Amino acid sequence: MSNAGRTPLVEMRDISISFGGIKAVDHVSIDLYPGEVVGLLGHNGAGKSTLIKVLAGAYQADHGEVLINGEKAEIRNPRDARAYNIETIYQTLALADNLDAGANLFLGRELMSRGLVNDAKMEAETRKIMGRLNPNFRKFNVPVKALSGGQRQSVAIARAVYFNAKILIMDEPTAALGPHETQMVAELIQELKAQGLGIFLIEHDIHNVMKLCDRASVMKNGQLVGTVNVNEVTDDDILGMIILGKKPAHLAA
C-alpha cells in the first residue's frame, strides 16, 4: 500500500536525547502509518530502544517533537502515551506470573461490580479478545507462568489491543521463542496489521524483519542510517546498513 497522501499515525521529528553528555539519539526522524510494521534495527547501543522510549513516555527528548495523527503530542510519561493509544510490549512482557490471563489483561484496570472485582466479566472479555487474536488459546484459568512463550505474548498483545491501542511498540517479541511460537506471534502481528494498527518492531533478527515488516529503519551510533522498503532490499543490504552505516548503493541517491 502506498503511503502517498496519507497522514502518518506517528511522526518522530528530529529527536535527540543525551545521557551524561553522550548523544544516545542524534537528530533522528522516523514515521509509522496505519496498518504498517516498521522494524527498528541496529547493534546494541545504536539508540533504537532509547528512541522508542521517547514515544512510550519513558524518556523525555532534549530536542525534537512527536506528532500523532498529524498533531503535536505532549508525551511526558507512560500515562500520556496510553492517552494517545500507544501501548508498549517489552521483552519482559510485564505479566504477573501467579495470575491467570484475565487478571493480567485487566491488571490495574480491573472490572468492578458492586465494589468487588468481577472475575466472570473479566474472563468473558478475555475470551472475546482472545477469540479475535488467537482462537486456539484455551488456558484461561491457569497462572500465566504455566503458559508457553507464544501464549504469554498473546496475553500481552491482547491487553494492549483490548485497551484500544492504535500504535504498538514491540521489543523483540520472538527473541526467546522456538519456530512454532515465532510463527504464532507472526500471525498475531499480521492480524493486528489487518485491523489497522501501526507497529514499531524492535528486532535483531533480519529474517524476522524481512518477513514481518513493511519498512526497516536502521540506527548506528545514535543516528539514523536510513529507512528502506523491505521489498526493495535484501538481507545483505540491511546487514550492510547495520555494520557499515550506509544505505544500499541502489537506494543511496
pLDDT of res. 4: 67
Among 86-90, 217-221, 222-226, whose mean pLDDT is lowest?
86-90
Same domain membership, residue 132 and residue 115: yes
Say if pTM beats, i.e. exceeds, 0.85. Answer: yes
Same domain membership, residue 237 and residue 193: yes
pLDDT at 1 over 70: no
For 62, 104, 144, 206, 213, the CA distances from 210, given in Å and listed in that order, are 32, 32, 30, 6, 6
Which pLDDT band holds residue 118 (cuts at 50, 70, 90)?
very high
pLDDT of res. 229: 96
Cell of 173: 517479541
Taken in order 4, 6, 9, 14, is the CA torsion positive or negative?
positive
Q: Which of 147, 162, 177 is the last residue of a domain?
A: 162
Closest C-alpha to 238, from 27, 90, 44, 43: 43
pLDDT at 91 over 80: no
pLDDT at 252 over 70: no
State how many domains the chain has.
Answer: 2
Same domain membership, residue 252 and residue 171: yes
pLDDT of res. 153: 86
176 vs 202, residue with greater confidence: 202
Same domain membership, residue 234 and residue 194: yes
Among 37-51, 175-189, 230-244, whose mean pLDDT is lowest?
175-189
Tally of CA atoms within 13 A in the half-sphere of 182 that contains its CB: 14
* Contact assessment for residue 217 and residue 227, using Cβ atoms and an 8 Å cutoff: yes
pLDDT of res. 28: 97
pLDDT of res. 172: 86
Same domain membership, residue 238 and residue 180: yes
Q: Which of 162, 186, 206 is the last residue of a domain?
A: 162
Cell of 34: 496505519
pLDDT of res. 5: 72
pLDDT of res. 25: 96
Q: How does pLDDT run across 38-70, given as a tens digit for each residue? A: 999 999 889 999 999 999 999 999 999 999 999
Q: How does pLDDT run across 132-148, given as a tens digit for each residue? A: 888 888 999 999 999 98
For 214, 232, 250, the CA distances from 247, given in Å and listed in that order, are 17, 12, 8
pLDDT of res. 2: 66
Q: What distance in Å separates the CA atoms of residue 94 and residue 52, rounded to the nearest whole number?
A: 17
Q: Partners of 226 in the beta sheet?
A: 218
Name the percent of the chain lying above pLDDT 90. 67
Average pLDDT over residues 167-186: 85
Find the domain containing 154 and state its range.
Answer: 91-162
Closest C-alpha to 117, from 103, 97, 96: 103
The rounded mean pLDDT for the chain is: 91
Average pLDDT over residues 163-169: 92
Same domain membership, residue 117 and residue 56: no
Same domain membership, residue 143 and residue 173: no
**189: DSSP letter:** H
Same domain membership, residue 242 and residue 130: no
Here the contacts of 21-24 (C-beta below 8 Å, separation 24 or greater) are: 23/222, 24/50, 24/222
Q: What distance in Å separates the CA atoms of residue 154 and residue 184, rounded to the nearest whole number?
A: 9
**DSSP string across 107-118:** TTS--EETTEE-
Same domain membership, residue 121 and residue 22: no
Q: Which of 118, 142, 162 is the last residue of a domain?
A: 162
Same domain membership, residue 23 and residue 5: yes
Q: What is the CATH number of the domain that holds 195?
A: 3.40.50.300
Same domain membership, residue 134 and residue 16: no
213 vs 185, residue with greater confidence: 213
Same domain membership, residue 213 and residue 176: yes
